[in-house]
Structure 1
Amino acid sequence: MAYPDDLLSPSEHVVIHKHPHWKMLLLPVFLLLVVVAACAFLASLVSGQSWGGIAQIAIVVIGVVLVMWLTLTPVIRWRTTHFIVTSDRVMAREGVLKRTGLDIPLSRINSVRFEHSLLDRVLGCGTLIIESASDEPLEFDDIPNVERVHSLLYREVNDNPDDDYRPGAVADGRA
């Protein structure tokens, strides 16, 4: 899902648009399986009882509420969380009912670094840390391909057409 172009300035374009890494969906999917298995087990236990019909309805209702709370909510949160790098700024957006956003102009970014654990390296994600004019660095967790995003963001921050280093430019006469 591309970021809406009508929210960008006329000369601005999206360089990269990411959702958090899919690893944040592992626990909700596991919980979905546990809830479904537990509900099926409990429903089979009460099926032979005289009050089993009402108990099965209660189990299904509780199961649906748990699935919505433990699985559907994190999936929607994942889907509505965006990390966007444009030609002018870095943006982070999240939320459905309560929408929050953060914009950092590229000109205010002092440094960009990333961290990832062994598991993050295996899964191909990590934490992007942006130091700007604010007091403390901003951390964006679970960024997919964090090294590539780091490199792209670094190039965007330091992209100045007046001082671009182009190794073949002098030999080609483009200097």
Structure 2
Amino acid sequence: MGYPESVLADDEQVVLHRHPHVKRLIGPIMALLLATAFAGFVSGFVNSTAWDPNAKNVVFGVIWAIWLVIVGWLALWPFLTWLTTHFVITDRRVMFRHGLLTRSGIDIALTRINSVEFVHGFIDRMLRTGTLIIESASQEPLEFYDVPRVEQVHALLYHEVFDNPSVAG
């Protein structure tokens, strides 16, 4: 899913666009699988009973309505939140946008960036993700969590900020 071109200034080019690492979706996927397995098990149990067919249909409706609420809350909402979270580096700025119903974001001009760091623990190193920390001239350092291939992003951002003569000068 590309970042919308309408938010870019004239002649501004996207250098990098990332969503958070897919590790954020492990919990929602597990919730989907467990809720589906549990709903299927309970439906199989209800189907094997000698209840009236209309009563079974009501119970099936309740089971799958509860399943729909659980999956919507614990799986679909986190997925849509992940999908609508963007970390974008252009040739002029770093942009972070997130939120599904209420959007929020921050832009940092490359000329205002003082330092760029990354942090990742053992598991994050195995998954090739981590936290990118950007310190700008006027704010506390900003931390962006679960950035995929954080070392490459760090190197790319460092290059854009400190090696690019149009930014560094």
Normalised to the residue count of structure 1, the TM-score between the two structures is 0.88
What aligned pairs does 1:88-107 form with structure 2 within 5 A after superposition?
Answer: 88-107=92-111
Alpha-carbon separation, structure 1, partners of 2:123 and 2:117: 18
Higher relative helix content = 2
Quote how far apart the aligned CAs of 1:5 are.
Answer: 2.4
- In the alignment, structure 2 segments of 5+ residues that lack a partner are none
Q: Secondary structure at the match of 2:10?
A: coil
Q: Deviation digits for residues 52-98 of structure 1, max 9, x if unmatched?
A: 22111100111011111111111111111000001111000112211
Aligned length in residues: 163
User: Which stretch of the first structure deviates more once superposed, 44-53 or 105-114?
Assistant: 44-53
**How large is the Cα RMSD of the aligned pairs?**
1.5
- Is 1:138 aligned to 2:142, yes or no? yes
Aligned counterpart, 1:16: 16
CA distance in 1, matches of 2:28, 2:106: 26
What's the CA shift for 1:101? 1.1
**Structure 1 residues 85-140: Cα deviation after superposition (integer angstroms, max 9, x where no partner):** 01111000112211111101111111110011111111111100111124421110
Provide the residue aligned with 2:32 in structure 1: 32
Q: Using a 3 Å threshold, how does the CA distance of structure 1 residues 46 and 160 change in structure 2: closer, same or farther?
A: closer
Q: Give TM-score, length-normalised by structure 2.
A: 0.91
In 2, distance between residues paired with 1:37 and 1:7? Answer: 42
Aligned ranges 1:1-175 → 2 under 5 Å: 1-47=1-47, 48=49, 49-50=51-52, 51-161=55-165
Query: For 1:134 and 1:25, how far apart are their aligned partners in 2?
Result: 34
Unaligned runs of 5+ in 1: 165-175
Percent identity of the aligned residues?
A: 50
Q: Highest Rg: 1 or 2?
A: 1
